[in-house]
Amino acid sequence: MNVLNSLEYRKAFGNYLRRGTPIHLSLKAEDLGYPTTHYIWRTRGDPQVRPSHIENNGKVFAWDNPPETGHPGGDYNCRCTAEPYERGDSEYAYQTVISDIKDNPKQWNTWNFIDHFRNGGGRPVTLSETGNLAGLIFQYFYPALVIDRINAQIIDAARRVKSGPVSYDFDGSYQFINYVIAFGGGVVGGQFTGSVKTENGMMYIEGEIVYQYSDTFTDTADLREIATGSSALTPDSWQWTEFGGTAYSITATWTTRFTSEAKINAEDSMYRWPE
């Protein structure tokens, strides 16, 4: 909530208009009428969420110390909400990218990927080289709720440990065609390493996740798929690769910090895997 919309501010502004009393606006939660001093930022979890708010999703903030974005609902057309936070009862999980992402300022589009297919001689590229790593993470991977599913998997792995070191490996195939048509499908895997401690029915989990993205760019017009029934590049199907290009790999690696408080009993938790 924007503090300018609070009851306290309206009262103070009214006194200023009637009596000329200076506005000394308190940001304390109790003065603003909030039930808790802190809240959990929740987004709608869809592609319309702005990247800066995606980064806030699941994090705990204090009403008297707002993030740089302001509180949920403060920005124009922001649909995010503030869920009251109470330690020992509330659940949250979030990831923060800690890698130094150095994307090429010249972002490749579909035609750039095709040009490299035709003229690059099969030289592998990274997502950062193509200027697309940050975009893929924040414009597709996070809003598509993939992160929420990974969070739930890690929390479920922690439930099996309850206390001590936790490790968990995962991978999945995803369609990135809505981000850049040339991407099509890609594989994203990762390894979580961290620890969990349990207290009064709650788990407190911390650690890091190293992600790997991999894809092979080839057969952009699906000629092999049409002619042979498979897009796999084999000695018998190479001639169906259009434009006389050479397949090349696209890879990426990035790291996030994972933090969570979750209920140890999965039936009472918002984080369950499989659901």
DSSP for 205-240, please give it: EEEEEEEEEEEEE--TT-HHHHHHS-----TTTGGG
Under 8 Å between Cβ of 242 and 233: no
Examine residue 274 and state whether it is found in any structural domain, yes or no. Answer: no
pLDDT confidence of residue 237 = 60
Give the full edge-to-edge strand order of the sheet including 38-42.
60-62, 38-42, 81-84
Structural domain ending residue among the three candidates 86, 120, 141: 86
Same structural domain, 107 and 204? yes
Examine residue 158 and state whether it is found in any structural domain, yes or no. Answer: yes
pTM score, two decimals? 0.77
CATH label of the domain that carries residue 247:
3.30.450
Same structural domain, 126 and 174? yes
Structural domain ending residue among the three candidates 50, 69, 86: 86
Q: Give the CA-trace dihedral at 144, 149, 151, 154, to 10 degrees.
A: -150
Same structural domain, 138 and 74? no
Residues 14-35: what's their mean pLDDT?
A: 58
Determine the structural domain holding residue 148 and report its residue range.
95-268
pLDDT band at 6; cut points 50, 70, 90: low
3-state secondary structure 79-119: CCEEEECCCCCCCEEEEEECCCCCCCCCCCCHHHHHHHHHH
Structural domain ending residue among the three candidates 51, 86, 121: 86
Examine residue 122 and state whether it is found in any structural domain, yes or no. Answer: yes
Same structural domain, 75 and 101? no
Examine residue 29 and state whether it is found in any structural domain, yes or no. Answer: yes
Same structural domain, 175 and 52? no
Q: How far apart are CA 52 and CA 70, in angstroms?
A: 11
Tokens of 78: 């922001």
Examine residue 231 and state whether it is found in any structural domain, yes or no. Answer: yes
Sign of CA dihedral 138, 134, 260, 186: positive
Same structural domain, 60 and 138? no
Residues 146-169: what's their mean pLDDT?
A: 93
Same structural domain, 79 and 214? no
Sign of CA dihedral 175, 105, 115, 118: negative
pLDDT confidence of residue 49 = 84
Same structural domain, 204 and 168? yes
Under 8 Å between Cβ of 10 and 33: no
pLDDT confidence of residue 230 = 62
Domain count of the fold of the chain:
2
Residues 3-31: what's their mean pLDDT?
A: 57
Same structural domain, 27 and 146? no
| DSSP β-ladder status, 125-126 and 164-175 | unpaired
Examine residue 275 and state whether it is found in any structural domain, yes or no. Answer: no
Same structural domain, 53 and 102? no
pLDDT confidence of residue 243 = 55
Examine residue 273 and state whether it is found in any structural domain, yes or no. Answer: no
Examine residue 101 and state whether it is found in any structural domain, yes or no. Answer: yes
Q: Which tens digits make up the pLDDT trace of 248-272?
A: 899 999 999 999 999 999 999 999 8
pLDDT at 109 over 80: yes
Same structural domain, 170 and 259? yes
